[in-house]
Amino acid sequence: MDEIINMPQVEEGDLVVKFSKPFVFENKTYTEVDLRGLEDLNGEDLCRADRAVRAQGNTAPMTEMTPDMACFLSSASAHLPVEFFKVSYFPHSLQLSICCISAVSFIGAQYVSLSSV
């Protein structure tokens, strides 16, 4: 029988990821993570995250699309240690990565389309 994994839910247009089950990190229980701070990050934040990802040995040609980058950008936006994102339950990590990468792509697309006008 296949196991059903409840993924954290992300409401459309919202960067608050609600977990399917509580996650304990450093003696604090989390039921959600607020990634709305992604909209406030700047180019230096992206460069800092890229340097950190590459320093760990990640040689992906597009580091902005990797789970490592999602962990670093999520950390910067939510003001939580990067380890929080790296040790969270797999379904949570996957959804946080997808949410972060999608948001970065969407925010970037908005700026590209605005500057093309």
Per residue in 14-70, pLDDT (tens digit) is: 788 888 889 999 999 999 999 888 888 888 988 898 899 899 888 888 777 788 888
55's CB contacts (< 8 A; 6+ apart) are: none
pLDDT at 42 (0 to 100)? 87
The tokens for 108 are: 């970037």
80 vs 108, more confident: 80
For the residues 87-105, what does the mean pLDDT come to?
A: 80
- Torsion, Cα 96 98 104 110, to 10 degrees, reads -130
Return left, alpha or beta for 25; rule: phi > 0 is left, psi -120 to 50 is alpha, else beta.
Answer: beta
